[in-house]
Protein backbone atom coordinates (compact mmCIF):
# COMPACT_ATOMS: atom_id res chain seq x y z
CA UNK A 1 0.00 0.00 0.00
CA UNK A 2 1.26 3.51 -0.87
CA UNK A 3 -0.13 6.33 1.26
CA UNK A 4 0.92 9.91 0.50
CA UNK A 5 1.43 12.44 3.27
CA UNK A 6 -1.23 14.71 1.79
CA UNK A 7 -3.69 14.66 -1.08
CA UNK A 8 -5.38 17.99 -1.86
CA UNK A 9 -9.14 17.49 -1.70
CA UNK A 10 -11.46 18.58 -4.52
CA UNK A 11 -15.07 19.05 -3.45
CA UNK A 12 -16.38 18.60 -7.01
CA UNK A 13 -17.64 22.12 -7.71
CA UNK A 14 -14.24 23.71 -8.45
CA UNK A 15 -14.37 23.37 -12.24
CA UNK A 16 -17.99 24.49 -12.28
CA UNK A 17 -17.16 27.76 -10.52
CA UNK A 18 -14.00 28.22 -12.61
CA UNK A 19 -16.17 27.88 -15.72
CA UNK A 20 -18.59 30.42 -14.28
CA UNK A 21 -15.72 32.83 -13.55
CA UNK A 22 -14.60 32.53 -17.17
CA UNK A 23 -18.19 33.07 -18.36
CA UNK A 24 -18.45 36.18 -16.17
CA UNK A 25 -15.75 37.70 -18.34
CA UNK A 26 -13.93 39.10 -15.30
CA UNK A 27 -10.89 37.09 -14.31
CA UNK A 28 -8.74 39.70 -12.61
CA UNK A 29 -9.09 40.23 -8.86
CA UNK A 30 -11.88 41.61 -6.64
CA UNK A 31 -14.74 40.24 -8.75
CA UNK A 32 -17.88 38.34 -7.78
CA UNK A 33 -16.17 35.22 -6.40
CA UNK A 34 -13.72 37.27 -4.35
CA UNK A 35 -16.70 39.09 -2.82
CA UNK A 36 -18.53 35.77 -2.23
CA UNK A 37 -15.51 34.49 -0.31
CA UNK A 38 -15.19 37.70 1.72
CA UNK A 39 -18.87 37.59 2.72
CA UNK A 40 -18.67 33.92 3.55
CA UNK A 41 -15.86 34.48 6.05
CA UNK A 42 -17.39 37.65 7.45
CA UNK A 43 -20.76 35.95 8.01
CA UNK A 44 -19.45 32.61 9.18
CA UNK A 45 -16.92 33.98 11.66
CA UNK A 46 -17.72 37.67 12.14
CA UNK A 47 -14.36 38.99 10.93
CA UNK A 48 -14.49 42.77 10.59
CA UNK A 49 -12.53 42.89 7.33
CA UNK A 50 -11.37 40.07 5.04
CA UNK A 51 -9.14 40.38 1.98
CA UNK A 52 -8.19 37.33 -0.06
CA UNK A 53 -4.53 37.24 -1.03
CA UNK A 54 -2.42 35.11 -3.35
CA UNK A 55 -0.86 33.36 -0.33
CA UNK A 56 -0.52 33.52 3.43
CA UNK A 57 3.01 34.78 2.79
CA UNK A 58 1.49 37.77 0.98
CA UNK A 59 -1.00 38.34 3.79
CA UNK A 60 1.88 38.31 6.29
CA UNK A 61 3.74 40.86 4.15
CA UNK A 62 0.62 43.02 4.28
CA UNK A 63 0.57 42.78 8.08
CA UNK A 64 4.19 43.99 8.20
CA UNK A 65 3.31 46.95 5.96
CA UNK A 66 0.20 47.77 8.01
CA UNK A 67 2.18 47.57 11.24
CA UNK A 68 4.51 50.12 9.60
CA UNK A 69 7.61 48.11 10.49
CA UNK A 70 10.74 50.24 10.02
CA UNK A 71 14.44 49.38 9.86
CA UNK A 72 15.57 48.15 13.27
CA UNK A 73 12.11 47.61 14.76
CA UNK A 74 11.99 44.41 16.79
CA UNK A 75 9.39 41.72 16.23
CA UNK A 76 8.94 38.80 18.64
CA UNK A 77 7.85 35.43 17.21
CA UNK A 78 8.44 31.71 17.73
CA UNK A 79 11.50 30.09 16.15
CA UNK A 80 9.47 26.96 15.43
CA UNK A 81 7.51 28.23 12.43
CA UNK A 82 7.53 28.50 8.65
CA UNK A 83 10.04 30.90 7.06
CA UNK A 84 7.33 33.27 5.80
CA UNK A 85 6.39 34.29 9.36
CA UNK A 86 9.84 35.83 9.74
CA UNK A 87 10.57 36.77 6.12
CA UNK A 88 7.61 39.14 5.91
CA UNK A 89 9.17 41.28 8.64
CA UNK A 90 12.79 40.84 7.54
CA UNK A 91 11.76 42.33 4.17
CA UNK A 92 10.81 45.54 6.04
CA UNK A 93 14.16 45.65 7.86
CA UNK A 94 12.92 44.28 11.18
CA UNK A 95 15.13 42.59 13.73
CA UNK A 96 13.56 39.24 14.57
CA UNK A 97 13.63 38.18 18.22
CA UNK A 98 12.83 34.49 18.41
CA UNK A 99 11.03 33.01 21.41
CA UNK A 100 11.03 29.41 22.56
CA UNK A 101 8.11 26.98 22.41
CA UNK A 102 6.21 25.52 25.35
CA UNK A 103 7.81 22.34 26.75
CA UNK A 104 4.74 20.23 25.92
CA UNK A 105 3.57 21.76 22.61
CA UNK A 106 5.17 23.83 19.83
CA UNK A 107 3.31 27.15 20.32
CA UNK A 108 5.41 30.03 21.63
CA UNK A 109 5.62 30.14 25.41
CA UNK A 110 3.84 33.35 26.37
CA UNK A 111 5.64 33.40 29.76
CA UNK A 112 8.92 34.18 27.95
CA UNK A 113 7.71 37.17 25.94
CA UNK A 114 7.96 39.98 28.50
CA UNK A 115 11.71 39.52 29.04
CA UNK A 116 12.25 39.94 25.28
CA UNK A 117 10.45 43.30 25.02
CA UNK A 118 12.67 46.40 24.54
CA UNK A 119 12.02 50.03 23.57
CA UNK A 120 12.39 48.93 19.90
CA UNK A 121 9.77 46.17 20.07
CA UNK A 122 6.89 46.88 17.73
CA UNK A 123 4.94 43.66 17.33
CA UNK A 124 4.35 40.13 18.57
CA UNK A 125 3.59 37.52 15.93
CA UNK A 126 1.88 34.41 17.29
CA UNK A 127 1.64 31.21 15.24
CA UNK A 128 -1.29 28.93 16.03
CA UNK A 129 0.65 25.76 15.27
CA UNK A 130 -1.46 22.82 14.03
CA UNK A 131 -4.47 25.13 14.32
CA UNK A 132 -4.15 25.08 18.13
CA UNK A 133 -4.53 28.52 19.68
CA UNK A 134 -1.71 30.30 21.47
CA UNK A 135 -2.56 31.52 24.97
CA UNK A 136 -3.90 34.88 23.81
CA UNK A 137 -5.11 36.56 27.04
CA UNK A 138 -1.66 37.11 28.58
CA UNK A 139 -0.28 38.05 25.15
CA UNK A 140 -2.97 40.70 24.62
CA UNK A 141 -2.34 42.03 28.14
CA UNK A 142 1.39 42.42 27.41
CA UNK A 143 0.64 44.05 24.07
CA UNK A 144 -1.64 46.62 25.61
CA UNK A 145 0.78 47.30 28.49
CA UNK A 146 3.71 47.92 26.10
CA UNK A 147 1.76 49.34 23.14
CA UNK A 148 2.56 46.47 20.77
CA UNK A 149 0.73 45.22 17.71
CA UNK A 150 -0.41 41.58 17.79
CA UNK A 151 -0.41 39.63 14.52
CA UNK A 152 -1.74 36.08 14.23
CA UNK A 153 -0.11 33.72 11.76
CA UNK A 154 -3.30 31.69 11.41
CA UNK A 155 -2.08 29.85 8.29
CA UNK A 156 -3.11 26.50 9.81
CA UNK A 157 -5.92 27.81 12.00
CA UNK A 158 -9.06 28.05 9.90
CA UNK A 159 -12.24 27.24 11.92
CA UNK A 160 -10.41 27.07 15.24
CA UNK A 161 -11.03 28.88 18.53
CA UNK A 162 -9.43 30.36 21.63
CA UNK A 163 -11.83 30.35 24.60
CA UNK A 164 -14.72 30.42 22.14
CA UNK A 165 -13.28 33.27 20.06
CA UNK A 166 -12.49 32.46 16.45
CA UNK A 167 -8.79 32.60 15.61
CA UNK A 168 -7.89 35.40 13.25
CA UNK A 169 -10.24 37.77 15.10
CA UNK A 170 -8.17 38.24 18.26
CA UNK A 171 -4.99 40.10 17.28
CA UNK A 172 -4.91 43.41 15.39
CA UNK A 173 -4.75 41.35 12.19
CA UNK A 174 -4.18 37.81 10.99
CA UNK A 175 -3.01 35.80 7.98
CA UNK A 176 -4.55 32.54 6.71
CA UNK A 177 -3.33 30.07 4.09
CA UNK A 178 -5.23 28.16 1.41
CA UNK A 179 -2.14 26.35 0.18
CA UNK A 180 -2.92 22.82 -0.97
CA UNK A 181 -1.51 21.39 2.28
CA UNK A 182 -4.08 23.24 4.43
CA UNK A 183 -7.63 22.24 5.45
CA UNK A 184 -9.19 24.46 2.75
CA UNK A 185 -7.16 24.85 -0.41
CA UNK A 186 -6.97 26.77 -3.64
CA UNK A 187 -3.58 25.47 -4.74
CA UNK A 188 -1.97 28.70 -3.58
CA UNK A 189 -4.06 31.25 -1.72
CA UNK A 190 -4.41 33.20 1.48
CA UNK A 191 -6.40 35.79 3.39
CA UNK A 192 -5.76 38.81 5.57
CA UNK A 193 -8.24 39.59 8.33
CA UNK A 194 -8.15 43.02 9.97
CA UNK A 195 -9.73 43.51 13.38
CA UNK A 196 -8.25 46.83 14.47
CA UNK A 197 -10.37 49.48 12.74
CA UNK A 198 -7.30 51.74 12.42
CA UNK A 199 -5.86 49.42 9.78
CA UNK A 200 -8.96 48.65 7.71
CA UNK A 201 -8.84 51.60 5.31
CA UNK A 202 -5.15 51.21 4.54
CA UNK A 203 -5.44 47.43 4.06
CA UNK A 204 -7.60 47.94 0.94
CA UNK A 205 -5.08 50.37 -0.52
CA UNK A 206 -2.03 48.15 0.03
CA UNK A 207 -4.00 45.29 -1.50
CA UNK A 208 -4.70 47.24 -4.71
CA UNK A 209 -1.11 48.30 -5.48
CA UNK A 210 -1.22 51.47 -3.38
CA UNK A 211 -4.31 52.85 -5.13
CA UNK A 212 -7.79 53.71 -3.83
CA UNK A 213 -9.33 51.56 -6.57
CA UNK A 214 -11.55 49.63 -4.12
CA UNK A 215 -13.12 52.86 -2.86
CA UNK A 216 -13.52 53.97 -6.50
CA UNK A 217 -15.48 50.79 -7.34
CA UNK A 218 -17.74 51.43 -4.35
CA UNK A 219 -18.41 54.90 -5.78
CA UNK A 220 -16.78 56.69 -2.83
CA UNK A 221 -14.30 58.66 -4.98
CA UNK A 222 -14.72 59.81 -8.59
CA UNK A 223 -11.28 58.70 -9.79
CA UNK A 224 -8.57 56.50 -8.40
CA UNK A 225 -4.84 57.01 -8.18
CA UNK A 226 -1.63 56.35 -6.29
CA UNK A 227 -2.22 57.21 -2.62
CA UNK A 228 0.20 54.96 -0.67
CA UNK A 229 2.70 52.13 -1.07
CA UNK A 230 1.31 48.70 -1.94
CA UNK A 231 1.60 45.68 -4.17
CA UNK A 232 -0.48 43.21 -6.13
CA UNK A 233 -1.72 41.13 -3.22
CA UNK A 234 -5.17 40.24 -4.55
CA UNK A 235 -5.75 36.87 -6.25
CA UNK A 236 -7.43 36.44 -9.62
CA UNK A 237 -11.06 35.32 -9.81
CA UNK A 238 -9.83 31.85 -10.80
CA UNK A 239 -8.34 31.38 -7.35
CA UNK A 240 -11.41 32.83 -5.61
CA UNK A 241 -13.82 30.71 -7.67
CA UNK A 242 -11.86 27.56 -6.81
CA UNK A 243 -11.76 28.51 -3.13
CA UNK A 244 -15.49 29.21 -3.05
CA UNK A 245 -16.16 25.58 -3.98
CA UNK A 246 -14.15 24.56 -0.93
CA UNK A 247 -15.98 26.93 1.41
CA UNK A 248 -19.31 25.31 0.62
CA UNK A 249 -17.93 22.06 2.07
CA UNK A 250 -16.20 23.53 5.09
CA UNK A 251 -18.27 21.67 7.73
CA UNK A 252 -17.96 18.34 5.96
CA UNK A 253 -14.19 18.77 5.54
CA UNK A 254 -13.74 19.67 9.19
CA UNK A 255 -15.89 16.77 10.46
CA UNK A 256 -13.99 14.26 8.37
CA UNK A 257 -10.58 15.55 9.43
CA UNK A 258 -11.63 15.55 13.11
CA UNK A 259 -12.84 11.99 12.77
CA UNK A 260 -9.46 10.92 11.36
CA UNK A 261 -7.61 12.92 14.02
CA UNK A 262 -9.51 11.27 16.88
CA UNK A 263 -9.01 7.81 15.46
CA UNK A 264 -5.24 8.39 15.51
CA UNK A 265 -5.43 9.79 19.04
CA UNK A 266 -7.49 6.87 20.36
CA UNK A 267 -5.65 4.07 18.60
CA UNK A 268 -2.18 5.41 19.38
CA UNK A 269 -2.90 6.25 23.03
CA UNK A 270 -1.67 2.85 24.37
CA UNK A 271 1.73 3.27 22.64
CA UNK A 272 1.98 6.81 23.97
CA UNK A 273 1.23 5.52 27.49
CA UNK A 274 4.12 3.10 27.12
CA UNK A 275 6.38 6.09 26.47
CA UNK A 276 7.17 5.43 22.80
CA UNK A 277 6.07 8.95 21.85
CA UNK A 278 3.86 11.83 22.94
CA UNK A 279 0.52 12.73 21.36
CA UNK A 280 -0.47 16.33 20.54
CA UNK A 281 -1.35 18.44 23.59
CA UNK A 282 -4.38 20.71 23.20
CA UNK A 283 -4.67 23.19 26.08
CA UNK A 284 -8.13 23.67 27.61
CA UNK A 285 -8.41 27.19 26.12
CA UNK A 286 -7.92 25.88 22.56
CA UNK A 287 -10.10 23.99 20.10
CA UNK A 288 -8.87 21.42 17.60
CA UNK A 289 -9.38 22.00 13.85
CA UNK A 290 -7.60 18.76 12.92
CA UNK A 291 -5.13 20.49 10.68
CA UNK A 292 -2.36 18.16 11.71
CA UNK A 293 -1.69 14.95 13.59
CA UNK A 294 1.82 14.65 14.96
CA UNK A 295 3.85 12.50 17.33
CA UNK A 296 6.80 13.70 19.38
CA UNK A 297 9.46 10.98 19.54
CA UNK A 298 12.00 10.70 22.39
CA UNK A 299 14.96 11.47 20.08
CA UNK A 300 15.88 12.40 16.53
CA UNK A 301 17.29 8.91 15.94
CA UNK A 302 14.03 7.29 17.01
CA UNK A 303 12.16 9.62 14.69
CA UNK A 304 14.40 8.65 11.78
CA UNK A 305 13.86 4.97 12.55
CA UNK A 306 10.06 5.32 12.59
CA UNK A 307 9.99 7.44 9.40
CA UNK A 308 12.17 4.83 7.67
CA UNK A 309 10.02 1.90 8.81
CA UNK A 310 6.86 3.68 7.68
CA UNK A 311 8.45 4.55 4.35
CA UNK A 312 9.36 0.87 3.80
CA UNK A 313 5.69 0.08 4.40
CA UNK A 314 4.63 2.72 1.84
CA UNK A 315 3.53 5.34 4.38
CA UNK A 316 4.85 8.87 3.90
CA UNK A 317 5.30 10.50 7.29
CA UNK A 318 7.26 13.76 7.37
CA UNK A 319 8.79 16.26 9.75
CA UNK A 320 9.12 20.00 9.41
CA UNK A 321 10.26 23.33 10.80
CA UNK A 322 13.88 23.43 11.64
CA UNK A 323 14.27 26.14 14.30
CA UNK A 324 14.62 29.41 12.37
CA UNK A 325 17.20 30.81 14.81
CA UNK A 326 19.59 28.06 13.62
CA UNK A 327 18.80 28.39 9.90
CA UNK A 328 21.61 29.12 7.43
CA UNK A 329 20.12 32.57 6.81
CA UNK A 330 19.58 33.59 10.44
CA UNK A 331 22.22 31.69 12.39
CA UNK A 332 24.70 34.58 12.59
CA UNK A 333 21.94 37.15 13.26
CA UNK A 334 20.57 35.35 16.32
CA UNK A 335 21.53 36.71 19.75
CA UNK A 336 22.84 33.34 20.95
CA UNK A 337 20.02 32.42 23.36
CA UNK A 338 19.29 28.71 23.42
CA UNK A 339 15.75 27.78 22.40
CA UNK A 340 15.76 24.19 23.54
CA UNK A 341 12.08 23.34 23.20
CA UNK A 342 12.01 24.65 19.64
CA UNK A 343 15.02 22.43 18.88
CA UNK A 344 13.30 19.41 20.44
CA UNK A 345 10.26 19.83 18.18
CA UNK A 346 12.59 20.36 15.18
CA UNK A 347 14.35 17.09 15.93
CA UNK A 348 11.56 14.90 17.26
CA UNK A 349 8.19 15.87 15.77
CA UNK A 350 6.74 13.53 13.15
CA UNK A 351 3.60 14.26 11.12
CA UNK A 352 1.28 11.47 10.02
CA UNK A 353 -0.82 11.53 6.83
CA UNK A 354 -4.10 13.37 7.36
CA UNK A 355 -6.35 14.35 4.47
CA UNK A 356 -10.03 14.20 3.56
CA UNK A 357 -9.78 11.10 1.39
CA UNK A 358 -7.66 9.03 3.77
CA UNK A 359 -9.76 5.87 4.10
CA UNK A 360 -10.36 3.91 7.28
CA UNK A 361 -8.47 0.97 5.77
CA UNK A 362 -5.48 3.17 4.98
CA UNK A 363 -5.52 4.74 8.41
CA UNK A 364 -5.75 1.40 10.25
CA UNK A 365 -2.84 0.22 8.09
CA UNK A 366 -0.76 3.24 9.17
CA UNK A 367 -1.64 2.62 12.83
CA UNK A 368 -0.79 -1.06 12.46
CA UNK A 369 2.59 -0.26 10.92
CA UNK A 370 3.37 2.05 13.85
CA UNK A 371 2.39 -0.70 16.33
CA UNK A 372 4.64 -3.20 14.51
CA UNK A 373 7.55 -0.77 14.78
CA UNK A 374 7.31 -1.17 18.57
CA UNK A 375 6.83 -4.97 18.73
Q: Quick one: which of 81, 135, 160, 214 contacts ligand PLP (CB under 6 A)? A: 81
Residue range at the interface with ligand PLP (CB under 6 A); choices 82-90, 211-219, 246-254, 266-274: 82-90
Using rule CB under 6 A, residue 101 touches ligand PLP: no
Angle between helices 56-66 and 200-207 (to 10 degrees): 130
At its nearest, how many Å lie between ligand PLP and the CB of residue 249? Answer: 20
Report helix angle 237-247 to 250-273, nearest 10: 70
| 184 vs 320: CA distance, rounded Å | 20
Tell me the window of 8-16, 54-62, 131-139, 311-319 that interacts with ligand PLP (CB under 6 A).
54-62
Binding mask 183-222 for ligand PLP (x = CB under 6 A): -------x--------------------------------
Binding-residue total with ligand PLP (CB under 6 A) = 14
Mode of pairing for the β-strands spanning 149-153 and 173-177: parallel
Q: What is the dihedral of CA 84, 88, 91, 96, to 10 degrees?
A: -90
Q: Which stretch binds ligand PLP (CB under 6 A): 53-61, 144-152, 329-337, 357-365?
A: 53-61
Asked if 239 interacts with ligand PLP (CB under 6 A), we say no
DSSP 3-state of 193: strand
Does 56 interact with ligand PLP (rule: CB under 6 A)?
yes
Cβ neighbours of 372 (radius 10 Å): 11
Residue of 59, 294, 263 lying closest to 175 (CA atoms): 59
Could you say whether residue 85 binds ligand PLP (CB under 6 A)? yes
153 near ligand PLP (CB under 6 A): yes
Among 41, 47, 82, 244, binds ligand PLP (CB under 6 A): 82
Of 22-30, 69-77, 151-159, 333-341, which segment contacts ligand PLP by CB under 6 A? 151-159
Q: Is 291 exposed, middle or buried (0-12, 13-18, 19+ CB in 10 A)?
A: buried
Residue 55 lies near ligand PLP (rule: CB under 6 A): yes
Establish if 177 lies at the interface with ligand PLP (CB under 6 A).
yes
The CA-atom distances, in angstroms, between 225 and each of 34, 222, 229, 246, 275 are: 22, 10, 11, 35, 63
Is the CB of 127 or the CB of 354 nearer to ligand PLP? Answer: 127
- The residue count of the chain comes to 375
Nearer to ligand PLP (CB atom), residue 175 or residue 306: 175
Give helix 340-348 / helix 300-312 axis angle, nearest 10°: 20
List interacting residues with ligand PLP (CB under 6 A).
55-57, 81-82, 84-85, 127, 153, 155-156, 177, 179, 190
Amino acid sequence: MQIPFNRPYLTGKELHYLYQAVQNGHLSGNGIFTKHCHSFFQQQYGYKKCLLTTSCTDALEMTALLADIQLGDEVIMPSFTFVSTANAFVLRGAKIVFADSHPDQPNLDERLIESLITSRTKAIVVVHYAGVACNMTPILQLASRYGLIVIEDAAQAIDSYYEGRILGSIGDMAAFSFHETKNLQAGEGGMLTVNNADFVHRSEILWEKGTNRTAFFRGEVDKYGWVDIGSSFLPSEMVSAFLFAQLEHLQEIQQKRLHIWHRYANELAPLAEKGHFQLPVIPSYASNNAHMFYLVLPSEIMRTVLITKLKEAGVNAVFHYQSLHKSPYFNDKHDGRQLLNSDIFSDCLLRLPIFFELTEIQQLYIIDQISRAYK
